[in-house]
């Protein structure tokens, strides 16, 4: 039989090819036992930042399992219906391990978990738990406490500043710990806060950093900026700077104080292993230095040796659990008692923290 | 340095992305064409400028290419809206979205890279005055931007060219019967708008915030568009509005950093509120609005 390429045939052939292409991956995955891992990110994936930290966390998984896993990263996915559709599609295409990389994916990801009992879902910074749905977050405050100690040691004015995205507990906690750490070295240290009210506006973030520096802050903490906007302007303005998630030392050769970094790989490795063994179990994963997820990288060489010793001692105390960050007595911003002497905040209090400690000079937006 | 000094020193630079884009749009709208694609043209200008500065290290070339890219994109818009006579709103929106997509595509592998900004050029002695001195220490683009504002103001007000552009926007049929090539004039005005939007994007990505991040224009094109309308199509007011917006957005950050006891969400919305209030009040004069409004704005012209 000879086939002629007329219009009708052409359409028929291409449609068939399209169908085949659509089904092929799912079938291939089902047959050879490869685990499809899909990571969904809210912002474009750069060299640094939140998304990069999550993506890097999967590298050891790839190295450990080789051909047995197939990692797909979907970036710049807006939270909402679009994300639900894309996550559903990736599960339909054969992914059995989904990492939803933003708080706003919670409802969509949870529905997927409920509909597909064989899919394991990790969800960043949420609070809902289901049998196959694990929310995870890092104890960033453990790292920012140590950064605060270093910041106070290097500040001449005793005035520190932070450019922060939104006034949510996770970020408030980081600022409070930064302040407490600074006061451990210099009891008179103060921290000014500028809320950008945006997760992503590099121009505004730089303006905020300039505003803080203009008012005498000489160490800036870039709280949850995904681009080196703040780090870059601090290097150019001669102020020390530290940040979260992944190291931005490359953008501040002389003024980089350190990074409260998250290394997700121990957690991801553990969870992928659990999935393979069939023992994946939904739980609230709040991960800190004890789990080797939270760590401070790229300490500045300018930090005096005696301060560095104190930092290392406190790091050991936090890791072992003997010296938790939010151990009383801690005074609130208005002077009233936040944590009583001898007590320490519980995890559920930490994740819901909605007050500033004494020493933060900017009132909390309500 | 106190808050006032900080605001005075920074407000012109903060205003520049709005001002450059709004000036271009002003001219396009004065000729009767509403270009809603400004945001996308800024995004394309931003990425092109960033790539050129990143690779060749010269801002001059970066701005030149960014301007050309903006103008090229606006040429597509003009072709749709003027030659094919498509609906200006729909065509503008489509081109705007296209621009943002192109910008994301070109910038893909440059995410969160940084480049060097531009040095400040100071006016001797004036820039040493306390408090207000910062006003006289700005980068080259700000000085050129001020010059452009003055030139456009004078051109629209005093030259024959300005009169022709206004006539084309006011009553294209009458302008045509006088022998003016309406479509050609509109083409040039729209492309001038694209050129300026490209410059505005270049300023945002290589001078004001010298780093690349997808989506960094973050709605500034829309603010520029709104400025033109609120300024009732008058050059002086566009300038005033842009600087006011820049100043208030810096002031709210300085207020937060200084520990002012005000809700930060409210502070963050201040630039919008203040600009709308001030420009709203000065444009509440109906007679003035009628005199300055562009009669054929957004209407498809069929010769």
Query: Could you tell me if residue A207 is inside a domain?
Result: yes
Residues 6+ positions from B213 with CB-CB distance below 8 Å: A44, A46, A200, A202, A226, A227, A229, B111, B112
Query: Could you tell me if residue A362 is inside a domain?
Result: no
CB distance A203–B5 less than 8 Å? no
**pLDDT at residue B126 in the model:** 87
Looking at the structure, do residues A319 and A184 belong to the same domain, yes or no? yes
Peptide bond into B244 cis (omega under 30): no
d(CA B21, CA B23): 6
Residues 6+ positions from A10 with CB-CB distance below 8 Å: none
Summarised one tens digit per residue, pLDDT across range B77-95 is 999 999 999 999 999 999 9
CB atoms within 10 A of CB A354: 11
CA distance A345 to chain B (A): 27
For residue A166, give the CATH number of its domain: 3.40.50.2300
Chain A CA closest to residue B112: A227
Instruction: Give me the number of domains chain B comprises.
Output: 1
pLDDT at A2 over 50: no
Q: Percent of chain A beyond pLDDT 90?
A: 74
CA distance B33 to chain A (A): 30
d(CA A310, CA B157): 69
Q: What is the pTM of this model?
A: 0.83
CA distance A208 to chain B (A): 6
CA distance B3 to chain A (A): 7
Query: Could you tell me if residue A47 is inside a domain?
Result: yes
Query: Could you tell me if residue A361 is inside a domain?
Result: no
CB distance B209–A229 less than 8 Å? yes
A76 has a chain B CB within 8 A of its CB: yes
Contact B137/B127 with Cβ under 8 angstroms?
yes
Looking at the structure, do residues A12 and A153 belong to the same domain, yes or no? no
CB distance A202–B113 less than 8 Å? no
Looking at the structure, do residues A280 and A221 belong to the same domain, yes or no? no
CA distance A172 to chain B (A): 14
pLDDT at A59 over 90: yes
Planar angle of CA B205, B210, B213, nearest 5 degrees:
60
Contacts of A195 in chain B (CB under 8 A): 256, 264-265, 268
CA pseudo-torsion sign B221, B222, B225, B226: negative
3-state DSSP call for residue A61? helix
Query: Could you tell me if residue B224 is inside a domain?
Result: yes
CA distance A274 to chain B (A): 34
CB distance A208–B112 less than 8 Å? no
pLDDT at A366 over 80: no
Looking at the structure, do residues A146 and A107 belong to the same domain, yes or no? no
Looking at the structure, do residues A130 and A243 belong to the same domain, yes or no? no
Summarised one tens digit per residue, pLDDT across range B183-227 is 999 999 999 999 999 999 999 999 999 999 888 898 899 999 999
**pLDDT at residue B286 in the model:** 76
List, for chain B, all residue ranges whose pLDDT scores fall below the cut of 50.
none
CA pseudo-torsion sign A173, A179, A184, A187: negative
Looking at the structure, do residues A161 and A89 belong to the same domain, yes or no? no
Among A289, A224, A281, A222, CA closest to A53? A224
Residues 6+ positions from A55 with CB-CB distance below 8 Å: A39, A41, A45, A73
* A251 to A8, A48, A50, A261, A317: CA distances (angstroms): 58, 10, 16, 16, 31
CA distance A79 to chain B (A): 15
CB distance B258–A48 less than 8 Å? no
Looking at the structure, do residues A242 and A337 belong to the same domain, yes or no? yes
d(CA A106, CA A101): 9
3-state DSSP call for residue B233? coil
Among B78, B89, B104, B97, CA closest to B40? B97
Size of interface A-B (CB pairs under 8 A): 119
CB atoms within 10 A of CB B55: 12
**Mean pLDDT across A306-324:** 95
CB distance B218–A201 less than 8 Å? yes
Contacts of A211 in chain B (CB under 8 A): 3, 6, 250, 253-254, 256-257
Query: Could you tell me if residue A356 is inside a domain?
Result: no
Residues 6+ positions from B239 with CB-CB distance below 8 Å: B19, B149, B153
Summarised one tens digit per residue, pLDDT across range A252-301 is 999 999 999 999 999 999 999 999 999 999 999 999 999 999 999 999 99
Summarised one tens digit per residue, pLDDT across range A98-139 is 999 998 899 999 999 999 999 999 999 888 899 999 999 999
Instruction: Give me the number of domains chain A comprises.
Output: 2
Interface of B with A (CB under 8 A): 1-3, 5-6, 10, 14, 17, 104, 108, 111-114, 117, 204, 208-211, 213-216, 218, 220, 249-250, 253-254, 256-259, 261, 263-265, 268
Place of tokens 């030392």: A249
pLDDT at A47 over 60: yes
Range of the domain at A43: 7-138+264-291
Contacts of B111 in chain A (CB under 8 A): 44-47
Contact A148/A182 with Cβ under 8 angstroms?
yes
Query: Could you tell me if residue B232 is inside a domain?
Result: yes
Query: Could you tell me if residue B298 is inside a domain?
Result: no
Chain B CA closest to residue A217: B257
**Mean pLDDT across A200-209:** 90
d(CA B238, CA B227): 6
Summarised one tens digit per residue, pLDDT across range A317-344 is 999 999 999 998 999 999 999 999 989 9
**Closest to B265 (Cβ–Cβ): which among A48, A206, A365?**
A365
Range of the domain at B199: 3-117+132-292
Residues 6+ positions from B249 with CB-CB distance below 8 Å: A204, A207, B14, B270, B271
A208 has a chain B CB within 8 A of its CB: yes
CA distance A177 to chain B (A): 19
Looking at the structure, do residues A228 and A304 belong to the same domain, yes or no? yes
pLDDT at A30 over 60: no
**pLDDT at residue B229 in the model:** 86
Summarised one tens digit per residue, pLDDT across range A159-188 is 999 999 888 888 999 999 999 999 999 999
Contacts of B213 in chain A (CB under 8 A): 44, 46, 200, 202, 226-227, 229
Query: Could you tell me if residue A357 is inside a domain?
Result: no
Structure tokens of A253? 């050769």
Planar angle of CA B147, B150, B156, nearest 5 degrees:
135
**Mean pLDDT across A10-18:** 46
Query: Could you tell me if residue B123 is inside a domain?
Result: no
For residue B34, give the CATH number of its domain: 1.10.3470
Q: Contacts from A303-308 at CB under 8 Å and sequence distance 24+?
A: A303/A150, A303/A153, A303/A154, A303/A257, A304/A153, A307/A149, A307/A150, A307/A153, A307/A185, A308/A150
Please give the backbone phi and psi of residue A96, each rounded to the nearest 5 degrees, phi first. -110, 0
Query: Could you tell me if residue B127 is inside a domain?
Result: no
CB distance A214–B257 less than 8 Å? yes
d(CA A90, CA A72): 9
Mapping DSSP onto H, E and C, the string for A111-178 reads HHHHHCCCCEEEEECCCCCECCEEEEEECHHHHHHHHHHHHHHHCCCCEEEEEECCCCHHHHHHHHHH
Looking at the structure, do residues A216 and A328 belong to the same domain, yes or no? yes
d(CA B257, CA A193): 6
pLDDT at A32 over 80: no
Among B71, B47, B50, CA closest to B59? B50
Planar angle of CA B22, B25, B28, nearest 5 degrees:
155
* B130 to A173, B4, B9, B143: CA distances (angstroms): 39, 11, 11, 21
Q: Which of A168, A194, A366 to mutate to test the interface with B (most CBs of B within 10 A)?
A: A194
pLDDT at A16 over 50: no
């Amino acid at each position: 039989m000879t086939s002629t390429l007329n219009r009708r045939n052409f359409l028929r052939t291409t449609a068939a090819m399209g169908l085949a292409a659509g089904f092929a991956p799912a079938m291939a995955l089902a047959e050879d036992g490869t685990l499809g891992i899909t990571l969904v990110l809210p912002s474009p994936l750069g060299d640094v930042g939140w998304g990069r930290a999550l993506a890097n966390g999967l590298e050891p998984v790839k190295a450990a399992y080789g051909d047995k896993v197939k990692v797909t990263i979907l970036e710049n996915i807006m939270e909402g219906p679009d994300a639900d559709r894309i996550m559903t599609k990736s599960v339909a295409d054969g992914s059995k391990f989904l990492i939803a990389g933003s708080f706003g994916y919670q409802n969509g990801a949870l529905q997927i978990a409920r509909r597909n009992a064989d899919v394991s879902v990790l969800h960043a910074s949420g609070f809902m738990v289901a049998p196959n749905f694990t929310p995870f977050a890092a104890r960033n405050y453990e790292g920012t406490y140590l950064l605060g100690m270093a910041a106070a040691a290097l500040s001449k004015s005793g005035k520190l500043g932070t450019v922060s995205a939104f006034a949510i507990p996770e970020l408030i906690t980081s600022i409070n710990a930064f302040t407490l750490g600074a006061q451990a070295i210099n009891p008179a240290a103060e921290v000014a806060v500028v809320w950008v009210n945006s997760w992503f506006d590099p121009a505004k973030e730089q303006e905020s950093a300039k505003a803080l520096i203009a008012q005498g802050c000489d160490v800036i903490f870039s709280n949850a900026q995904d681009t080196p906007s703040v780090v870059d302007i601090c290097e150019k303005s001669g102020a020390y700077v530290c940040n979260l998630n992944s190291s931005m030392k490359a953008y501040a050769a002389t003024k980089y104080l350190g990074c409260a970094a998250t290394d997700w790989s121990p957690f991801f490795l553990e969870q992928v292993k659990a999935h393979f063994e069939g023992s994946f179990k939904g739980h609230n994963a709040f991960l800190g230095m004890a789990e080797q997820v939270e760590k401070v990288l790229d300490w500045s060489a300018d930090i005096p040796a005696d301060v560095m010793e104190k930092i290392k001692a406190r790091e050991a105390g936090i890791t072992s659990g003997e010296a938790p960050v939010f151990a009383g007595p801690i005074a609130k911003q208005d002077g009233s008692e936040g944590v009583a002497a001898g007590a320490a905040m519980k995890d559920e209090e930490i994740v819901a923290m909605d007050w500033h400690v004494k020493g933060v000079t900017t009132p909390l937006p309500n | 340095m106190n808050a006032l000094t900080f605001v005075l020193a920074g407000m012109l630079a903060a205003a520049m992305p709005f001002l450059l884009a709004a000036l271009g749009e002003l001219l396009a709208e004065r000729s009767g064409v509403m270009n809603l694609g400004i945001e996308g043209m800024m995004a394309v200008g931003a990425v092109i400028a960033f790539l050129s500065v990143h690779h060749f290290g010269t801002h001059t070339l970066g701005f030149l290419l960014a301007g050309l890219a903006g103008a090229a994109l606006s040429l597509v818009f003009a072709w749709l809206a003027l030659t094919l006579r498509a609906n200006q709103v729909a065509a503008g929106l489509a081109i705007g979205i296209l621009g943002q997509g192109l910008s994301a595509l070109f910038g893909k592998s440059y995410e969160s890279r940084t480049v060097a900004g531009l040095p400040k050029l100071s006016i001797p002695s004036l820039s040493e005055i306390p408090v207000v001195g910062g006003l006289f220490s700005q980068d080259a683009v700000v000085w050129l931007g001020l010059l452009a504002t003055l030139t456009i103001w004078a051109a629209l007000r005093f030259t024959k060219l300005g009169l022709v552009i206004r006539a084309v926007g006011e009553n294209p049929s009458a302008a045509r019967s006088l022998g003016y090539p309406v479509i050609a004039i509109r083409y040039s005005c729209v492309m001038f708008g694209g050129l300026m939007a490209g410059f505005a994007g270049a300023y945002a990505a290589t001078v004001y915030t010298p780093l690349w991040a997808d989506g960094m224009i973050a709605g500034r094109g829309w603010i520029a568009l709104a400025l033109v309308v609120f300024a009732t199509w008058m050059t002086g007011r566009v300038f005033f509005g842009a600087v006011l917006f820049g100043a208030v957005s810096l002031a709210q950050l300085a207020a937060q950093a200084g520990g002012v006891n005000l809700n930060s969400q409210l502070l963050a919305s201040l630039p919008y509120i203040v600009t709308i209030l001030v420009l709203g009040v000065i444009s509440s004069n109906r007679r003035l609005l009628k005199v300055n409004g562009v009669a054929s704005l957004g209407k498809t012209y069929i010769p």
